[in-house]
Amino acid sequence: MLILYEFGNSVACQKVRLALCEKGLKWESRPVDLFRSEQYEPEYLKLNPQGLVPVLVHEGRPIVESTLINEYIDEVFPVPRLMPADVYERVRMRLWSKTVDEGLQEGVSEISFSAMFRDRLKGMPEKLRGARFRNIGDPRRRDRCVAAYELGVESPYVQWAIAAFERAFDSIDHTLGRRGNWLAGDAFSLAEISLMPYLARLEYLNLLDIWIGNRPGVLGWWARCKGRASFGAAIADPLTQQERDEMDVSGTRIRARVRELRATLKSVANEPTA
Ligand X SMILES: N[C@@H](CCC(=O)N[C@@H](CS)C(=O)NCC(=O)O)C(=O)O
235 contacts ligand X (rule: CB under 6 A): no
Counts of helices then strands in the chain (DSSP H, E): 14, 4
User: 33 or 186, CB closer to ligand X?
Assistant: 33
Distance (Å, rounded) from C-alpha 26 to C-alpha 68?
A: 19
* Cβ atoms < 10 Å from Cβ of 96: 26
The one segment of 5-13, 212-220, 223-231, 246-254 that binds ligand X by CB under 6 A:
5-13
As a whole number of angstroms, the distance between CA 67 and CA 259 comes to 30
Burial status of residue 130 (CB atoms within 10 A of its CB: 0-12, 13-18, 19 or more) = exposed
- Give the nearest distance from C-beta 118 to ligand X in angstroms: 13
Q: How far apart are CA 121 and CA 8, in angstroms?
A: 18
Interface region with ligand X, contact rule CB under 6 A, candidates 48-56, 70-78, 83-91, 200-208: 48-56
**Of residues 15 and 174, the one with the C-beta less far from ligand X:** 15
CB of 192 to ligand X, least distance (A): 16
| CB-nearer residue toward ligand X: 105 or 171 | 105
52 binds ligand X (CB under 6 A): yes
| The binder of ligand X chosen from 4, 5, 6, 10 (CB under 6 A) | 10
Q: Which stretch binds ligand X (CB under 6 A): 9-17, 88-96, 122-130, 240-248?
A: 9-17
Distance CA 215, CA 173 (A): 7
The burial class, CB within 10 Å (0-12 / 13-18 / 19+), for 141 is: middle
From residue 161 to residue 200, what is the string marking binding to ligand X with x (rule CB under 6 A)? ----------------------------------------
Contacts with ligand X in 95-134 (CB under 6 A)? 101, 105
The answer to whether 77 and 23 have CB atoms below 8 angstroms apart is yes
* Residue 53 touching ligand X (CB under 6 A): yes
Q: Is the peptide bond before 238 cis (omega within 30 degrees of 0)?
A: no
- Residues forming contacts to ligand X in the complex (CB under 6 A) are 10-12, 34, 39, 51-54, 65-67, 101, 105
